[in-house]
A and B are shown apart, each in its own frame.
Chain A
Amino acid sequence: MKILVFAENWDGIFKKSSFEAVSYSRELAEQNNYELITLCFNNVSKEELNKLSKYGSSIVITTNPIHKVDSISMSKMISDITIENDIQLFVFSSTYSSKMFAPRLSAKLNSSIFTNVVQLPSSLNPLKLKKKVFSSKAFEIAKSSSEKNIIMLHPNSYGVKEFSSDLKLSEFTTESNTEIEIINIEKSSGKVNLSEADIVVSAGRGMKGPENWVLIEELANCLNAATACSKPVSDIGWRPHSEHVGQTGKTVAPNLYFAIGISGAIQHLAGVNSSKVMVAINTDPEASFFKAAHYGIVGDAFDVVPKLIEEIKNIKN
């Protein structure tokens, strides 16, 4: 049996989520004696491809460039590779592009598709998987009745595991005549990606105004963390929607989550409660975030955060 894992790259660079998907697939392949094929599209340097071998990729198929927004071409390419290689199981990290092409692929292959998967399968025949539901308020165990299956991993759930192997490259070319015209791309400059960040510094209305986010950004910078915010903060336009964490925003699962001046509404907690360690800083000792947090400081963010920055700089030096 063969597993295909998609190692996504961004402008030729892999991210943690790509290595996580490879690590997961390698473990699955090792446990069950399956063959693992890694798929990588567009132009990636040999040096970057070598990084995949540290996490267990051996056979790597590279393809011609396809734009990620073109889910028709992406799914067709994977489906063509599937026919040539007789693949039964697919592993993708949940990214913006995989969420477009993976459902299409499942319709093409008449397969089952499981999203927000957090663990290796508890059984393979039938395939049984544990996944997050209700915005992380619960888990569901579900089983497949299909021969082909697609697993979409929730980022930061399985983690990366090193497994050294030798790289064997092959190329696959597919037709792509897209009807999509790219008008422009706007990049938010050099920030850490929120969905796969190890540390997230999040703040709420307790910061009193958007001008005070310099403090949050400074803390995030010295931790190499992503910044995030609560729903009210993005609703009033202090921060962009893309930073809104919670039930109607993004769900994150970092190793460390700082909630600064966030009261902790149930919808916010739903989006963050898979974080490994949560620290709450709030002037109100009754704030509901303290019921969810592992560590708490009752105090004014404007006093506590500068001290935090100083102490972190001390240990980093």
Chain B
Amino acid sequence: MKIAVCISCVPDTTSKINFTKNNTEFNKEGIQFIINPNDEFGLTKAIFIKEQNQAEVIVVSVGESSIEPVLRKALAIGADSAVRIDNKAKDSICVAKNLSSYLAENKFDLIIMGKESADYNGGVVHGIVAENIGMQFVNACVGLEISDDSYIIEREMEGGTEKVKIKSPVIIAGQKGLVEEKDLKIPNMRGIMQARTKPLNVLESENFDFIQSIEFNKPSENKECVFIDEENVAELVKILNEKEKVL
């Protein structure tokens, strides 16, 4: 069985977000990059499947050479090899089209992505790839089991969850719940040593011009918090009801 895990490299979730070049670019200075949290659940799931079913796990990412330490971390966690598609990854469509070319040429039984990236929050790469390479696709997955030549997939939806059965191959987009937070794989020393010699292949890319970013701005800061005495809850309720009109 062959599994592709597509990952995105994003700023650490504690990062302060600032922009540079006249608010046209994200300021990467001093930012620590990590595996996108939604993708990390998927990567751990793939490693679990590998441990039980002898699968080959390949991590794939679209990005510049600066993302290679993050790919090495994915290898240290347990992926067998990595592919970096060399591109600035300027928007979701560009990323999706480059991923599609690679994933169409190399047949996979299962492709795992994250529901969305923690930086630009697009959440469309998986669906575009699914269409381009003609595969079934399930988003917001919180459960995945293999059953012969099919997958039993549990997805989150409005007001509940739904379990479906789909024949292989399939693309799933994972999130928290696909594996539990406490079960997330952390690289150990042996993994880190092995990762140094695992293959990391760099592929050429194409550029596509669908969406151009013009500028970024940040929401205005709040005014000071108005403190209300704990003995005076009635006043708070009155403000919310009469002044803010939100009750």
The reply to whether A315 and B222 contact each other, CB–CB distance below 8 Å, is: no
The answer to whether A296 touches B219, judged by C-beta atoms less than 8 angstroms apart, is no
User: B residues within 8 A CB of A182?
Assistant: 162-164
B1 at the interface (CB under 8 A from A): no
Interface membership of A29, Cβ < 8 A:
no
Q: Give which listed residue, A69, A106, A234, A251, contacts B155 with CB less than 8 A.
A: A69
Q: Does B193 contact A (CB under 8 A)?
A: no
Alpha-carbon distance between A299 and B38 when the two chains are bound, in angstroms: 35
In the complex, whether B69 has a CB less than 8 A from a CB of chain A is no
Residues from chain B with Cβ under 8 Å of A294 in the complex? 222-223, 225-226, 244
Q: Which of A30-38, A39-47, A83-91, A269-277 faces chain B?
A: A269-277
- Give bound CA distance, A146 to B222, whole Å: 37
User: In this assembly, does B149 line the interface, its C-beta being within 8 Å of a C-beta of chain A?
Assistant: no
Contact assessment for B118 and A247 in the assembled complex, using a CB-CB cutoff below 8 Å? yes
Q: Report whether over half of chain A's contact residues are helix, strand or loop; otherwise say mixed.
A: mixed
> How far apart sit A97 and B239, CA to CA, in the bound complex (Å)?
38
Residue of A nearest to B161 (CB): A186
Contact flags (1/0) for B117-137 with A, using CB distance below 8 Å? 011111111111011100011
Give the residues in chain B near A124, CB-CB below 8 Å: none
B209 touches A183 (CB 8 A): no
Q: A127 to nearest B CB, angstroms?
A: 10
> Given contacts A72-B136, A195-B158, are A183 and B181 in contact (CB under 8 A)?
no
B139 interface residue per 8 A CB criterion: yes
A248 at the interface (CB under 8 A from B): yes
| A191 CB within 8 Å of chain B | yes
A39 to B245, CA, bound (A): 34
CB < 8 Å neighbour of A133 from B120, B214, B238: B120
Q: Say what secondary structure dominates the interface of chain B.
A: mixed
Find A266's partner among B14, B233, B239 (CB 8 Å cutoff).
B14
A 255-308 contacts with B by CB, 8 A: 255-256, 266-267, 273-274, 276-277, 279-280, 290-300, 303-304, 307-308
Using C-beta atoms within 8 Å of the partner chain, give the interface range for chain A. Answer: 35 or more
Per the 8 Å Cβ criterion, residues 179-233 of B in contact with A are: 181-182, 209-219, 222-223, 225-230, 233
Known: A266-B14, A297-B228, A304-B233. A113 touches B214 (CB 8 A): no
Q: How far is the CB of A4 from chain B (nearest CB, A)?
A: 18
Flag if B158 contacts A95 (CB, 8 Å). Answer: yes
B246 touches A255 (CB 8 A): yes
Q: Which of A20-28, A49-57, A137-145, A157-165 contacts B (4 or more CB under 8 A)?
A: A137-145
Residues of B within 8 A of A72 (CB): 136
**B79 interface hit (Cβ, 8 Å):** no
Bound Cα distance A75, B19 (Å): 36
A183–B212 CA distance with the chains assembled, in angstroms:
42
Q: Is B146 an interface residue (CB 8 A)?
A: no
Question: A241 on the interface (CB 8 Å rule)?
Answer: yes
| Whole-angstrom distance between the Cβ of B21 and the nearest chain A Cβ | 14
How far apart sit A248 and B184, CA to CA, in the bound complex (Å)? 14
Tell me the bound Cα distance from A142 to B124 in angstroms.
16
Annotate A115-144 by CB proximity to B: 1 below 8 A, 0 otherwise: 110000000000010001111111111111
- Contact of A113 with B219 in the complex, beta carbons under 8 Å: no
Give the shortest distance, in Å, between B192 (CB) and chain A (any CB).
25
Residues of B within 8 A of A180 (CB): 136, 164-166
For B240, list chain A residues within 8 Å (CB). 256, 277, 279, 295
Complex contacts, B164 vs chain A, CB 8 Å: 69, 180-183
Counting CB contacts under 8 A, is A108 at the interface? yes
Known: A244-B176, A267-B14, A276-B246. A142 touches B214 (CB 8 A): yes
Task: Given the known inter-chain contacts A255-B246, A256-B247, A296-B226, please indicate yes or no for A102 contacting B162, CB distance below 8 A.
Answer: no
Using known A-B contacts A68-B157, A138-B19, determine if residue A103 contacts B121 with beta carbons closer than 8 Å.
no
Cβ contacts under 8 Å, A132 to chain B: 121
Q: Assuming A179-B166, A294-B222, A298-B230, is B137 touching A104 (CB within 8 A)?
A: yes
| Cβ contacts A to B, 27 pairs, < 8 Å | A71-B127, A96-B140, A96-B158, A100-B139, A102-B124, A103-B125, A104-B131, A112-B93, A113-B92, A116-B121, A132-B121, A133-B121, A136-B219, A143-B212, A145-B210, A179-B136, A185-B163, A193-B159, A199-B247, A234-B176, A241-B142, A256-B244, A266-B16, A292-B225, A298-B227, A304-B233, A308-B236
Q: Across the A-B interface, give the 6 residue pairs with the lowest CB-CB distance, nearest first.
A: A103-B127, A299-B230, A107-B131, A103-B124, A187-B160, A104-B131
Chain B positions near chain A (C-beta within 8 angstroms):
13-14, 16-17, 19, 37-38, 91-93, 96, 118-128, 130-132, 136-140, 142, 152, 155-167, 176-177, 181-182, 209-219, 222-223, 225-230, 233-234, 236-241, 244, 246-247
Q: A115-B124, A142-B213, A242-B156 are in contact. List 18 more A-B contacts (CB 8 A).
A: A72-B136, A96-B156, A96-B158, A104-B128, A112-B210, A113-B124, A114-B211, A141-B215, A144-B212, A184-B163, A186-B162, A248-B176, A256-B244, A267-B14, A294-B222, A294-B244, A295-B240, A296-B225
